Structure 1
């Protein structure tokens, strides 16, 4: 497979409502879409899921665009590609910058699957023809607003509710939710808002039968999470701390968590995400697929990943209508009675609406082999 050109699109889309976590609030979403064109005219799409500011990881939309243009694209143009798995090895000399790598690698998976006329999820080894999904609810301005979102999510059939917490909005918040919804599968996400000094607060959450506490401590920590997990009965889920297969091995060795949130964008692409899936299955670590407020393109890649057998917990890959007035794909990612059904169409399984792609493109760069 020869790659003839790569297009980097700088996108700007407005979410239906702000999404607020312990590290900030997002409504105007700027992100990248990467197009990879092969010599047969096939186009693969990937999404650069980094935010404008380095809240979640050190990457931003601008750093990702720079890395793709100056470092990653030349490695792709350097030689033909027989299989997308080669991309991870080709990118190995470039340290970190996983979200930039994932945007390109996912696009190459898509173009490869279109080339061989196979669905991406089946080429990854997926066997589930439908995947269970949950919903992630950001911090809300009022308790009433939170309950409205929870109620709407339950009515839509979502199988798990995730709420964001931070200092001052944690134990009483969870207690209130549990008093109203005593049996709903519930988890909380701290986005690194706490330290070990907050152990008394975090231990109180054990009383509320939570599925897990996601990333309570620092984004670069694995050691202190092990200390915390020994003090809690609630499973800890690592998210921001896991950037690679090697990070997973460290977390397993130290017993830092019982659950891992796998995001293809955070770990450098689908190939590394599959490796993480495999070792977690072998080690008895539960996994699920998280979300990054993606457009339908990134969401479609996450749906394909979640079809792997080890993803036994509902992920964050909720329907497009939860976030966007209109999306870049047709049909939209939709949820039916708590499930997203896999599609047989080659590649990501969804058509990209080129008119909407152009509508939300602020600028673009086209890269060619030298």
Structure 2
């Protein structure tokens, strides 16, 4: 009789130890029913242990198959098994999680075949890695754009001049039509090259309410919106003014909005929706810098999503998923935002794509090196 209270005490002590861990811990039995969640797991999955105790693991996640595979491997071999960067989508949580996971047999539970699942949230680490890659892309893209633009622009001037001289020598009006085409196409390419080069001056910043710019962009997008597309607004009115170049940020936001509209034009048979959203974020890393306060400006659409094969190179110039696209809109937008020490990032799956502009508020001691 004395052994039973001793076992309960050991189990209670184990629970207190697991609750003190910063990693998330779940214990499930052979039937994949939840026996225990520690405090970190409650926070990560947005539930209390009393709410889900005894319930199937499948009721905690929208798709538990990827986690079931790791559990099966550990249960079959009776040895710990780990997987990195699993994508989980909690039913009660907020958005997709990227986690590192270790599953090990757990005999102390008193349930044969039980396993302990240790989960470390790798979402923030992945985000920092992705942002660092984006910032590296910006530098490489900017150099490549300028070199390419100069290589194209110089011969275009000679081509245009030669066409003008030729036109003066031609008496046949029908022949001069050809030189007119050459000149107009050369001018079009010069305009394209100027877009690649971007503004030739430093940002002319002044204190601006970001919602004023976003409202202006929303009106422009609404005027050319495809039939059935609705533009909704979800603003945080408490956002203080930002120090911005009005024209540059409007251009960046227009490029994102037009991309979303073009994606929504492909949503045949269902209503398209674009949401313009603002939020204030605290303690955000942009590359190696930590900003105490950052404005988040989001363009969310319910279009088909970004094709998988384009995601790693989406902000490179001349990369596009449309036959009639130039591949310049996102590259130029990223460059314009980077001139404000900001960054554009995105997440996408079919039916939900979010492009987020991060713009730091320049308050006192606003940056420091990230740990």
TM exceeding 0.5:
no
Superposition TM-score, scaled by structure 1 size: 0.24
Q: Which structure's CA Rg is the greater one?
A: 2
